[in-house]
Amino acid sequence: MGGGVLSQLLGFFFWGFLWLAGPVAVYSGGPGTSGADAVAVVVDGTAAIAVTDGDFVCATLDWWPPEKCDYGTCSWGLASLLNLNLSNPILLNAVKAFSPLKLRLGGSLQDKIIYGTGDPKPQCTPFIKSTSEMFGFTQGCLPMSRWDELNEFFQKAGAVIIFGLNALNGRVTLSDGSLGGPWNYSNAAALIRYTVNKGYAIHGWELGNELSGSGVGARIGADQYAADVINLRSIINEIYQGLPDKPLVLAPGGFLDTNWFTEIISRTKPNSLDVITHHIYNLGPGVDQHLTEKILDPSYLDGEAGTFRDLQRILSSAGTSTIAWVGEAGGAYNSGHHLVTDSFVFSFWYLDQLGMASTYDTKTYCRQSFIGGNYGLLNTTTFRPNPDYYRPASHPTSFCCGFTANSIVY
């Protein structure tokens, strides 16, 4: 490790310690130091500016098959929710070490997957690679036998589950290119009902993936999306009726578009939408050869603060109980970049994001991914931890760097 990078890291930890330690005064210079050179820093550790969830750190599991390739590299292997080796002890222990760890199950293909509940009776077939299809794959299916296996694993690991539902069922193409028409929720409702009947604990049901604003692959207007969120709330209220705990309703799992997000918040007040989720890939594509320079450039990293600030302002001005999460953040889209987003240097981006998100009252931050692609916290092949696995402490009230606090102070 270069001396410059090491000194930056040590400095980060030093200031992070002071940031959380309470009222501290730091003075630079000794006797005879001129006024022009003297520096005094006072850290008031008693005034909280934001509060995170106790289990702030979250990670994602995705649907991508092994045939998912980017820029000639196929980095997903057997890391999909459909084929991940759930009997691997390293995987189990890696999740248990963060218990309770929030796991968000979703991603691009969630809006192309159906659930093999038998009600209704769609054909349950696997994803097949097809260049003519959105995201390069045909419709896939989650068999209930696999859903049972996943839930058994989650229970053993002490994971807290957020499941991303297919929001594209029933849509029609409108004249402006967006998708309209009400969400056909029959298959989603069948999955939710099956889940409740089996006694599986789900912390939240999230509607759709990256369909907000201009969308990625497809888009839906905020007015229609709000109506669909309200329907999801009604489904959950009906199916969970009489149960002591009801899961959260989350949406839209997309990139911030201020007008779109403002409208959906307005239309789902006061209590239809518990959590508004947004995604962050502020470093650009994984093929970018300048990722390291961006990661080590504080001014570049600071540019993402505007996203958090805008969303915080939307929520505070709307007078809503809805809170904000980062539902997926991998830094560099299209699976990241090997030896960058799965290496030590990526910690500078990750830690900066955790601190920035916390400062703007983000309650939970979900890292893409726990395993899979070139940005996983675990190596896709060996399951051994990559450097970023160690960045957030395993203590449930830690948000970064091993410091135990869930109030962000200045």
Q: Which residues are known catalytic residues?
A: 210, 328
Q: How far apart are CA 253 and CA 163, in angstroms?
A: 11
SS3 of residue 258 by DSSP: helix
Q: How far apart are CA 130 and CA 99, in angstroms?
A: 38
First to last CA, the chain: 31
The residues, any chain, with a CB within 8 Å of residue 26's CB and separated by 6 or more, are: 18, 40, 41, 42, 43
Give helix 222-239 / helix 258-268 axis angle, nearest 10°: 40
Tokens of 216: 């990625």
Instruction: Pick the closest to residue 104 from 169, 167, 50, 57 (CA basis).
Output: 57
Tokens of 263: 């409208």
Ramachandran region of residue 75, left (φ > 0), alpha (ψ -120 to 50) or beta?
alpha
- Please write down the long-range contacts of 310-313, taking CB distance under 8 Å and 24 or more positions apart: 310/256, 310/258, 311/256, 311/261, 311/276, 311/278, 311/360, 312/360, 312/361
Instruction: Write out the H or E segment, with its range, that includes residue 190.
Output: helix 186-198
Contact assessment for residue 228 and residue 189, using Cβ atoms and an 8 Å cutoff: no
Contact assessment for residue 112 and residue 129, using Cβ atoms and an 8 Å cutoff: no
